[in-house]
Amino acid sequence: MSTRIEYDVLLVGGSPSNLTLAYHLLELAKASGKELSMCILEKGKDFGSHVMSGAVSNPHVLQKIWPNYKDIGFPIEAVCNDSNFSVLGTNKKWDMPSFAYPKSLDKTGYLVLTLSYVTGWMAMQVQEKAKEVPNVTVDLFTGFAAHKVVFEDGRVAGVAVTENPKSEEDYVYGKFTAFGDKGFISRDVIDHYKLRDCPQIWSVGVKEVWQCNESYEGKVWHTLGWPLLDGTFGGGFVYGMKDNKLTIGMVISLDSHDPNMNPQQKLQEYKKHPWIQAMIKGGKLLKYGAALLPEGGYYSLPKKFAVPGALLLGDALGVLDVKHLAGIDRSMECGYVAAEVLHDALVKGDFSEEALAPYQARLTDSFVVKESYNDRYFRWAFIENPRLLGDYVPTIAKSVDNSSPIMGMLSIGLKNPFRAIGDGIRSLSLIEGMKDIGPIKYKPDYQHIIPEFVTPKYDEPPYDKSTIYSRPDAVFYASTKYHEGNQHIDEYNADVCIKCIGKYEGLGKTTPCVADCTAEVHRIDIIADVRRHGMSLENCIHCRTCEIVCPEVNLRVKPTEQGSGPDFMGL
């Protein structure tokens, strides 16, 4: 007779949001004496091995949880002492004066972090805190993914921890379940309860860490322009860390018109810029990775943050704020508030949906949702007016190389002064939240693809070929490792893929899943004279980009088993 494995609180994903929840719940239970059990499921082989982010973060929530974080070994790469927002031409860089860009982009005093290390550290703090709280049982399981949400009697009851569950031992149940994942499994909760009227939109972050010959510790740049000069929303970032390490990355929105955008190669183009070339000359690539970022903001938030038996936190909720380039502190605040709401419910023995209602109310009244509301039209401003990224930014980037950015701005105004002034006023009012145009509704990212799109051509600057990596070579630096028989990407209909291949190859292109893959997973095979979709799943770094850009909605990326996948420790 099998035994039902059940906890009071089940946390799906070893995310900063869930680990904050776990730690704060331990603090609350220590003070109250409430007996409870808690379990954290992490699909990576270690806490942090599937976590990747920029990251430059405001420490205000961190300080609330660990006031002495500086003294207890919290992993800090640097404190930002030189924050810049820059426009790149193909050869030169212009650091904008601070008054010319939003204050939200000034990261002075913020912490430069390696989020994989932070997540591992947080898991250790949970384990250590648990030793002080004998009235709480805490189990942390790595290499265990949630493959299926279990619904019982109208509520979330738990998850299956194998893809094909055969017995009760393949399930873990919770009186309350918290989802902190990037949509691998939480999307099924959102779909089941029909929580999202406005689709989530996504960007992909691609990132490398370099060992350099010089120190850039504390220096932070966020950039606009090269190589995104085709109207695609996104930009680059360079963060100086301790021990002469340098983070170089790009965030590229997946609503690009370009069906063959190739984020990993865009990062290589970014690195060809003379400014970056000078920093990495003689250096060594240490790590590479990619991950999705939810960037729909306020109008893509679910209608309910909690459903019967479950809460949505962090990336599962979609609280990242693109304008502020901030997600970590918001995710941690979700965990902090959730811990207090769950503790109250457990003390009262109230397992109803109403017991979880304060979670949404408190987040709505916090900086998390208030700032998201203020920035609710930030992404929409760029979607509404394609001239901003398709015309104005390339013009200014070109002027950075040829004369001065001021001349570029003047040329925009002189070309069509009334339109330029109107665009400026309208876009600024949306970006700053000064104008209310009511609710908006995004199109799914793949619907923005223009199959016939022609990418503008630019002369590349000279560069050291030893600093540039092909996509197959980059996979090595993501340290992928899979157990035999892994099948973690579903292709629903092979005939649909055959038609898609024919369509794009007829236009002289390849399919978006092949082109935009960050790791060399998708390919075209010829079988019995038919061009078919194939996959090298052992290369996958689990970013889900292929699923998001698939024009036919014919792919789904699922959690891997037994801790398989990339190893992002150090990213």
- What domains lie within the chain, and their CATH numbers? 6-69+115-198+297-374 (3.50.50.60), 378-439 (no CATH), 480-557 (3.30.70.20)
Looking up tokens 């924050």 gives 83
Residue 340 CA: distances (Å) to CA of 25, 27, 182: 7, 10, 23
Q: How far apart are CA 431 and CA 323, in angstroms?
A: 8
Please, which residues bridge with residue 239 across strands? 220, 247
The amino acid occupying position 504 is Y
394-443: pLDDT as tens digits: 999 999 999 888 888 888 888 888 899 999 999 999 999 999 999 999 99
Residue whose structure tokens are 């009760």? 168
The whole-angstrom separation of Cα 369 and Cα 362 is 9
Asked whether 543 and 516 are in contact (CB, 8 A), the reply is no
DSSP 235-274: EEEEEE-STTEEEEEEEEETT-S-TT--HHHHHHHHHTSH
Instruction: Write the pLDDT tens digit of every residue in 92-113.
Output: 999 999 888 888 899 999 999 9
* Rounded CA separation 114/48 (Å): 10
User: Residue 75's pLDDT is what?
Assistant: 98
Condensed to tens digits (0 to 9), the pLDDT of residues 155-171 reads: 999 999 998 898 998 99
- Sign of torsion over alpha carbons 459, 249, 571, 47: negative
Whose structure tokens read 């600093």?
467
pLDDT in tens, the chain (571 residues): 568 899 999 999 999 999 999 999 999 999 999 999 999 999 999 999 999 998 999 999 999 999 999 999 999 999 999 999 999 999 999 999 988 888 889 999 999 999 999 999 999 999 999 999 999 999 999 999 999 999 999 999 999 999 889 899 899 999 999 999 999 999 999 999 999 999 999 999 999 999 999 999 999 999 999 999 999 999 999 999 999 999 999 999 999 999 999 999 999 999 999 999 999 999 999 999 999 999 999 999 999 999 999 999 999 999 999 999 999 999 999 999 999 999 999 999 999 999 999 999 999 999 999 999 999 999 999 999 999 999 999 999 999 999 888 888 888 888 888 899 999 999 999 999 999 999 999 999 999 999 999 999 998 889 999 999 999 999 999 999 999 888 999 999 999 999 999 999 999 999 999 999 999 999 999 999 999 999 999 999 999 999 999 999 999 999 999 999 999 999 9
* Sequence-distant (≥ 6) Cβ neighbours of residue 511 within 8 angstroms: 259, 497, 500, 501, 504, 522, 524, 533, 551
